[in-house]
Every structure is written in structure tokens, then in C-alpha cells.
Amino acid sequence: MPNNPDEQFMQQRLLIASVLSAVALMGYMYIQGPPPATPEDPAAIEQTTAGGQADPESDPSKPAATIGAEQPASPSATAGATDQPAVEAIAAKAETESVIETDTFKVRFSNRGAVVKSWVLTQYKNALQDGELELVHQQGAAANGYPFEIDLPGGRHFDELNDALFRITQEPARGSQGPAIVFEYAAAGITARKAFRFEKEGYVLRVESEVRRNGSLEPHLLTWNGGFGDTAQLQDAVNSATFYHDPRGRVFERIAADDAEDERLIHTGPYAFVGIYDLFFTAAYLPPADNGELRMETSAVKIAGTVGGGEELFPAFGVASSGANKFEVFVGPKKVDILSAVRPELGEVVDFGTVWGFIAEPIFWGLQWTYDNIVPNYGWSIVVLTTFINFALFPLKWKSMKSMKKMQSLQPLVKQINDRYKGLGMRDPKKQKQQEEMMALYKEHGVNPLGGCLPMFLQFPFFLGFYNVLSVAIETRHAEWLWVHDLSTFENLPIHVLPIALVLTQFWQQTVTPTAPTADASQMRLMKFMPLMMGFIFYNVSSGLVLFWLTGNIVGVIQQLLLNKFSSDEIAIERPRGRKQKKNTGRS
């Protein structure tokens, strides 16, 4: 127990809580539809143009050949064949591009490899707010492969197909069905087909792929290898991962790029869905209920998240069924209500935290309710909710202060006990007697030695829960507040005002907190250094998080002033017991 009296005891616990808060905060920061119509003579087709218009000479009323099925061949083609019937060659004459547009997507396809060259979410801007939101990292995809490229299990590129010129059949939207695009190819014993069927609204499409080699199904991965999402977003690399949901035990597992830096990671199981995400967006692949096992492979690629920026590690992703692939694919924002409307468990893609998620999720709904019902601005909603939580926890702070004052009043008696056993070693049997006397003293006066610290630690999960919410909530993305243009990133100013205000308010809080004249000098120096350390931590953090912590500081100052005013003489402990003096026997 400490030997220093009164306020020093309180200062020691405030110091412990502040250091633990800073350490924990740094840790936290650290898709079948009918077959498409195709031209009767595939060899005579001319490909679609970059505008996506079908060849006027093609006749969509004639049935399409089924890719992968045995096709009748000319006598010259079948002469001498005994094992497998020959398959008529299907290929385009030139590389072309096609564009599919819906209410939410603008997707540009290339027939070379039947891949996605660009995937734009039309209802969102990029992190820099200087253009449309592109989910395909162009440099990364050019170097590592475009989305929906085909790989073989284990990560080997399927060069025969990825370099092939597929024939395109594009279907316009009809009735309630959205547009669709189908890619077909056949040559040298290999046949392949990919189909992308979009909805008119929403973020879900159906993706199908089938590859056969000499008539037999070839398992294959559909990949997203070149970087996914809004990579220019603050801290996007460290918040990017692949994931799978195993309904056995309701396990939701995330695999970061760092985990796959040295070796390719393979996960298999009867997963409800798998996918890849960054901080605010995701591509989730949902198989049919009777699909069986999925295979998900995760690797890592180095790409520059921003133009001119340094390379960072991002995850790369591939998914395969045991034969042909059929998925519903969600490509869109990580918004709980949108994800849960697709499948309830898909909402788990929004990571509120493994440990403190049970606190963070109610805080998120509280923030949303505050925005919808009190003030339609997420910046002010953060201020209102932070203030409410701090005052809701005020009784804990009051209890902490009362407990500290009890302990301070007992310090003279504690000192008496410590003085009587001064100089004893830790293994001395009399040490147990010292502890017994100390506990008896606490019991006599109704004091809990941990009463001053425990309420502080009970508040800490709420701060971490709020921190988690503001770290992942897409609602704060591009949300404005006063001079702040985007609460999900730091201020677009030469000097960041909010972190500086945070430092100043933390110094202010120190000045209104009572300090013992006899407090240890090294402890006081550390306490004065804490605001500067917090300013350093928060200087390049999202403005929403800084606003949350700043609001907490201001409310903390007000609460401390109340505590100083009304709790100065809250508890009166009886006068310390004096030591009995020996009688004077007159001996010299």
C-alpha cells in the first residue's frame, strides 16, 4: 500500500487508468437462370463493342450451344476419335469490352479472360471525394489479375482461359430481371462459361462459372487478386481481410493479409458465405444452401493504396466449389441493415470487435437513433451520445471519488501499520500479520481497497465500444461536421485542430484534478506527458474518433468541477488512533 497521504493515492490510480487507456487504444488501432440466347453460328459472330451492343447479325431466337456438353462434330473432326467427342471451337476474333449499368453498379467487362476491368459503386464517391468509387485497383489488377479471373486450386493461373478471347452474349433487362452478360469459350479440349446476372436494384448479382477439360468438370477458383475496395481510405490496408462464415458453431473468421504474407492460406468447409472486404465495402460470395463445401484461398499482394504512395500489404482472394461455381454475390457497402436484408448473418461482416462487440453494437444503434431522431448530423450525434454516456456513467465516477476519499482519510492509520512492519522482507511470516491488520482496518471502516479503481475500469469498455463503432461505421464516411468534411478521416487542414484541442482539454482536466503537494515528481512528469502522447496518437486518426475523445474530455472537466465542489467533505473518518506510550519507570 502507498505510504503517501490523500491526493497522491488518487493520482496513482488516475495515472494507472490513463496509461492503461492509452496502451489499449494503441492496440486497437493497431449468387440460376435460363441459358442465354446465342447466335446459331458461333464461328461467324462479331463481338460486342465497348458500348456493349450485341452484333446485329446474331439471331437470339435460336438456341445456344451448351458449353461443356458433348457437341456433334463434323466427320473430319471426329475421324479417329475414340475417347471424347470433339467440341466445336468457340472464340472471339478480337478483344472487346462491355458495360453493364444498374441503379447501383457500373461494371466494365473484358472478353479477354472474361474478367471485370472496373467495378464502380455509382452511389458513392471515393475516399478523396474527387471521383467515382472504383473497387478495382487498376495497377494492382494489371499486375496480379483482374476480378473473376480463373485460377486453379493452389493459386496457379489458368493461362489457357485467362488469355483466351471469350464470345460475349449480352442480355438487356426484361421485366423484373436485370441485365446479364455471358462469356463462352471452347478450344483444345477446354470449354468454359461465365455468366453474370444483375438485379435492377440493390447490390446482389448471380455469378456462375463452369470449366471442363475433355468433358470432365475442372474445379477452379474465381478470384479478386489485385486489391479490393477504396484503398485510399485512411487505414484501409490494416482493415482489409478475407473472411468466411461457418454455420457450425456460428464462427465468423477473418484472415488478414499479414497472416498470408509468407504462405497461401487455404480454408475449406460448408461455409454460409465467404468474401473479401476493406474498411467500408465488401464482396461476399453466398453459395446455394445445398452447395456442400467451399474452398477459400487467401494470399497477400503489395500495392500502393494511393497514387504516389508507398506499397502496403492487401489480401487477395479466391473461392471455389467442388465443381461448377454458382454464387449470389453481394458487392457493396458494409451497412448492417443492407447486409442483414440479404441474409441476417451477413451483418457480421461489420466488425464491431470480438471482445467488446456486445457493447459496441448497442452504441452503434444508439448513434443511429440519435441521428434519426435528435440531430441529423453524425458529428453532433457523436457529441450528444458521448455526453449522454459520460453522464450515465457519472455515478461510477462519484463512487470512485468517495472510495478514494475514504482511502485518503485512512492513510495515517495505514502509515502506522506500515511503520510497525517497516523493513520486513516479503517472505517474513510477520508480513501476513501486516496484511491481516490492513484488511481489518478496511473492514472496520467499510472501505474496499479496489473501490477507487474498479469504477474507472467499468467505464473503460464503453470507451472501447465507442471507439470500435467509430472505426468501422460507414455512416461517418463523408459525413460533415462544422469545418470537418469527412468524419472517417483526419481533417483536411494544414494543422489538425481537433487533436490540438484534445491535448489542451486534457491539460485542462489535469489542472482541475486535485494534486497532492507531496506527489512523486516522476509520476507528475509522466502525467503531464500523457496529453502530448494522446495528441500524437490522435493526430492522424479519423476526425470522428478525435471528436468522441475531445467531447469526453470536456464532459470530464465539468464532472471533475462538480466532484471538487460537492464531495470535498463527503466522508469523515474517526481520528487516527495514537500509539500507546510506555510508562516512565524512572530508570535512567
Q: Are residues 342 and 402 in the same domain?
A: no
Does 128 lie in the same domain as 96?
A: yes
Q: Indicate which CATH number applies to the domain containing 270.
A: 2.70.98.90
Residues 377 and 266 in one domain: no
In whole angstroms, give the CA distance from residue 210 to residue 195: 9
| Whether residue 452 is found in the same domain as residue 347 | no
Please tell me whether residue 320 adopts helix, strand or coil conformation. strand
Q: What is the DSSP letter of 44?
A: G
The per-residue pLDDT of the chain, averaged, comes to 81
Verify that 369 and 343 share a domain, yes or no: no
pLDDT digits (tens, 9 = 90+) for 211-238: 999 999 999 999 999 999 999 999 899 9
Adjacent-strand bridge partners of 184: 167, 193
**What phi-psi label fits residue 23: left (phi over 0), alpha (psi between -120 and 50 degrees) or beta?**
alpha
Q: How far apart are CA 8 and CA 516, in angstroms?
A: 5
- Give yes or no: residues 248 and 279 share one domain: yes
Estimate to the nearest angstrom the gap between the alpha carbon of 82 and the chain centroid.
Answer: 56
Question: Would you call 332 helix, strand, or coil by DSSP?
Answer: strand
In a domain, 164, yes or no: yes
DSSP structure string for 126-146: -TTSSSEEE-B-HHHHHHH--
Do 221 and 341 lie in one domain? The reply is yes
304 and 402, same domain (yes or no): no
Report, as ranges of residue numbers, the positions in the chain whose pLDDT lies below 70: 1-87, 405, 449-458, 514-524, 567-588
Q: What is the distance between the alpha carbons of residues 395 and 393, in angstroms, rounded to a whole number? A: 6
Residue 193 lies in a domain: yes
- Alpha-carbon gap, residue 500 to 21, rounded angstroms: 19
Determine the structural domain holding residue 377 and report its residue range: 7-25+362-410+447-566
The verdict on residue 500 lying in a domain is yes
Same domain, 133 and 274: yes
Residue at 38 is within a domain: no
Q: Say what the pLDDT of residue 53 is.
A: 39
pLDDT at 422: 79
Q: Does 155 fall in a domain?
A: yes
Cell for 336?
448492417
How many domains does one find in the chain?
2
Residue 44: inside a domain, yes or no?
no
pLDDT of 559-586, one tens digit each? 888 887 776 544 455 554 444 444 444 4
Question: Would you say residue 480 lies in a domain?
Answer: yes
User: Is 183 strand, coil or helix?
Assistant: strand
H/E element, 468: helix 454-472
What does DSSP assign to residue 42? G
Rounded to two decimals, the pTM is: 0.77
Cβ atoms of 545 and 481 within 8 Å: the answer is no
Residue 210 shares a structural domain with residue 274: yes
Q: Is the residue at 387 inside a domain?
A: yes
Q: What pLDDT, on the 0 to 100 scale, is given for residue 438?
A: 82
* Element (DSSP H or E) covering residue 251: strand 251-256
Tell me what pLDDT residue 59 has: 39
- Say if residue 342 is in the same domain as residue 384: no
CB 275 within 8 A of CB 224: no
Same domain, 334 and 370: no
Grid coordinates representing 320?
471455389
